[in-house]
Structure 1
Amino acid sequence: MSMNAKWCFFLLLFSCASCAVDAEQDVVRQIATSVAADKAYGIQLLERAVNINSGTDNLAGVKAVADVFAPEFEALGFQVTWLDGSGFNRAGHLVAEYGKVGPKILLIGHLDTVFAQDSEFQRFQVVDERYVRGPGITDMKGGDVVMLLALKALKTAGLLDQLQIRVLLTGDEESRGTPMVLATQALVEAGDWADIALGFEDGDSNPETAVIARRSAANWRLSVQGRPAHSSQIFQPGMGDGAIFEMARVLNAFREALSGQALLTFNPGVVVAGTDIDLADDGRGKAFGKANVIAASAKVSGDLRAISAEQQQQAWAAMAKIAAASLPHTKTVFSYEDRYPPMAPTEGNKQLLALYSQASEDLGYGPVRAVDPRKAGAADISFVAGRVDMALDGLGLMGAGGHTDQETADMNTLVSQAARAALLMARLADVK
């Protein structure tokens, strides 16, 4: 190859690389401009949604919020479906679907809040030019609006057609419907369909973080029986140690065996013990006994949170073994219920966070790091994360005071969160 030919070749390569950089910068600019232009629309939509009470048990209110969001998805070309929730004693779920080519991305939000119909906290309230207060404004009607603004930006930039999107806005995130298998069926099916899952909860309400791991949520119980008798006979060969000492043995052995494991927590939240006791499923209990009578019964209700399915199963096995080694003339029955699975910090999740962080930096918002799993409770994405290649949560509107009458949104994050999510999805079209 002659010197002139070599120079032409290198100039061509440089030109192609330069064009690629320019095209990428154009995408960044288009997304940032589009989201900023839609901020007022987003605030108006958020106000409409927040002003509708949608406490989980207010089935009509949950459906009314779905009716606010449904036409917004339809305007973007999504096929929208309402999944009736009567089979699991809740309002239902909103599903919106788009596209036939590209990576399959599941976007997760929810419609319900923790605020009942008789709550005094019911309305969208402007605090100042930056902050707005309202029921469910960050948890998570704001996240649903962030999701819509991101999708609108992709549509405006001509990038939405490169993706297959399924949106699932559940109606029972704050109080799961029963039976659980029906309440979570849409999530499980969507997880089996998707390659990637993005959750629009508010994480730890810090825009410098996102969620790559959530711990599980599970319940456990102890039911303990001892031999009742006069207290003067306790520890005798024929009487044994009684139900309360047996209960104490088991709980302390749990603590000694398991409390040192990283990110594993377990807590006995309610205890009743005595001669005649009762502990209901709602946590209300009663007990009767006397100081001079060996306790006949004890019951304990607690929860457990683990960072992986393996850690949780190992904990259950250890707890069952401890409970089975009962003191003389006592018997402990240990039982548990898995409720929310863990969202383990997989390599795929870490890669997705890296892409999100790079998108944030390219938009001028700085890097994003992972949330401490102790600050991220179980959520809808927990049912999906183990079924997809990559999952990331905490992409919604940020603020403070969630689940209280001081729930407040930082409206500066409406644009930044939507732009970051949109750019991430645009780049996912090139990754898969």
Structure 2
Amino acid sequence: MIGVEESAFLETVERQPILDRTLEWAAINSGTTNLSGLRTMAERLADTFAGLPGEITLVDPAPVEKVGADGKAHAIESGRHFVLSVRPQAERRVLLTGHMDTVYAADHAFQACDWLDDDTLHGPGTADMKGGLSLMLAGLEAYERSGPTLGYDVMINSDEETGSLSSAPLIARLAQGKLAALTYEPALPGGIMARARPGSGNFAAIVTGRSAHAGRNPEDGRNALVAAADLAQRLHAARRDGLTVNPARIEGGAPNNTVPDLAVLHFNMRPRGPDDLAAARVILDDAIAQVAAAHDVAIHLHGGFARPPKPIGSETQRLFGLVSQAAEDLGSPVNWKDTGGVCDGNNIAACGVPVIDTMGACGGAIHSPDEFLIASSLDMRAKLTALVMHRLDREGLPA
């Protein structure tokens, strides 16, 4: 039940300021590749979160490379990452994470918000996750009115939508020694929270063959495009329960009268658990060796499993017990279930820290021009953040 002490700070949470911030931030295009928009968004976050106690820094991204159609790895630029550190000397500390980037590029057609009804806001990044960032702030502001002793870090990265490659070292560093973590991905349909998540790996297989004239001496060539297609077929055939494989794109080729000597296969693999991850690595090694031998080509693999599988341990179950009890006390019970998506919660869980990674707004159709946010979830989820932080402070994880 909600006590008198808890009611006092929860009553300070109001929907309109959270909604106003969400609309302001959604109007800023911060697609992962829009460095100017990300810079603007990071500056807005720094200005707004400055109302909380603690030190704000904008952290430079770690170096990241991506394989192009020429088969070479090229450096790609990322935006800086936002970090707020509050009471860093506290004995017990929590990590809260979110992302400022969206999937909508600067030239995407979906750039403006409109209302579908009195409670449904249609707009880019509203659910994923400008609304989540705004309610996180409101929840922390309310928590700061509760006489807090818990320390915490807030990390908002600029590259979550592309795998957090430039922020992964920062996430790992900030996760160390934390009591728990809360991540502000939007809730699943119906307000359900995510339980276990698979891992995810993105790869580029660079296939190098030998060029030759397609009419005079094709037998002297080694067709890299055919080899890449064979690799795609073998990987696709290897999918099974616990492992999805998605060959997504082949780049390369040559003029019609030339045997192509270069092709790049881009693909994604998602292992459900640690055993599936080990099996995926074996499948990958075997398929590459078999295709290289069968086609007499060289294959260089770029990429890796940047998101480890996120199984559910006892500490995470205890954290969800605290979150679900708080939600029930607020009159909005939540459940959780396994999902096929991945997020920064995968990276945090790999550090041994219990994490609930769908603390954000309710909505749906994310990553599409139909994305929407349920406005009434903003203040409710902000109160949930404040109450969870307060109870972690007063009680720790439940037994």
TM-score by length of 2: 0.81
Q: Which one of the candidate residues 260, 283, 288 is aligned to 2:240?
A: 260
**3-state SS, counterpart of residue 369 of structure 2:** coil
Alpha-carbon separation, structure 1, partners of 2:334 and 2:99: 27
Q: CA deviation at 1:39?
A: 1.2
Please state how far the C-alpha of 1:220 moved relative to its aligned partner.
4.5
- Name the SS of the counterpart of 2:107 in structure 1: coil
Residue 363 (structure 1) aligned with residue 352 (structure 2): no
The answer to whether structure 1 residue 218 and structure 2 residue 194 are counterparts is no
Match of 1:191 in 2: 175
1:92-119 CA distances to partner (integer Å, 9 max, x unpaired)? 1111111232521111011222233334
More off after superposition, 416-425 vs 147-156: 416-425
In the alignment of these two chains, the number of paired residues is 380
In structure 2, C-alpha distance between the alignment counterparts of 1:213 and 1:136, rounded to whole Å = 22
1:151-203: CA deviation from partner (whole Å, max 9, x where unpaired): 12212232xx22111001112223468xx4x5433222112253322110114
C-alpha distance in 1, partners of 2:33/2:261? 39
CA contact (8 A) 1:104 1:164 kept: yes
For 1:328 and 1:124, the matched residues in 2 are separated by 53
- The CA distance in 2 between the partners of 1:60 and 1:336, in whole Å, is 28
1 CA distance for matches of 2:285 and 2:94? 40
2:156 is the counterpart of 1:169:
yes
In structure 1, distance between residues paired with 2:203 and 2:101:
23
Equivalent position amino acid for 1:63 in 2 = R
Worse overlay, 132-141 or 118-127: 118-127
249, 252, 255: which one pairs with 1:270? 249
Q: Which residue of 2 aligns with 1:75?
A: 51
Which runs of 5 or more residues in structure 2 are unaligned? 65-76
Q: CA deviation at 1:83?
A: 2.1
Partner of 1:91: 79
* SS, match of residue 267 in structure 1: strand
Does 2:318 align with 1:351?
yes
Whose helix proportion is higher, 1 or 2? 1
Relative distance call for 1:62 and 1:331 in structure 2 (3 A) is closer
Aligned identity (percent) is: 24
Output the TM-score relative to the length of structure 1. 0.76
Tell me which residue corresponds to 2:68.
Answer: none
User: For 1:421, which of 359, 381, 385 is the aligned residue?
Assistant: 385
**Pair 1:174–1:369, CA change in 2 (3 A):** closer
Letter in 2 for 1:305: R
2:346 to 382, 387, 406: 382
User: In 1, Cα distance between the equivalents of 2:295 and 2:27?
Assistant: 59
How far residue 41 of structure 1 moved from its aligned partner, in angstroms, is: 1.4
1:61 corresponds to 2:61: no
Post-superposition CA distance 1:18-39 (Å, at most 9, x none): xxx7xx533553454232xx21
1:396 maps to 360
Q: Give the superposition deviation at 1:129.
A: 1.6
What value does the CA root-mean-square deviation take over the aligned residues? Answer: 3.4
Q: 2:62·2:167 contact (CA, 8 Å) conserved in 1?
A: no
Aligned-pair distance for 1:229? Answer: 10
Per-residue CA deviation, residues 22-73 of structure 1 (Å, 9 max, x unaligned), is xx533553454232xx211111222221222222333332232233332332
> Does the CA-based 8 Å contact 1:343-1:381 persist in structure 2?
no
- The answer for the alignment partner of 2:281 in structure 1 is 316
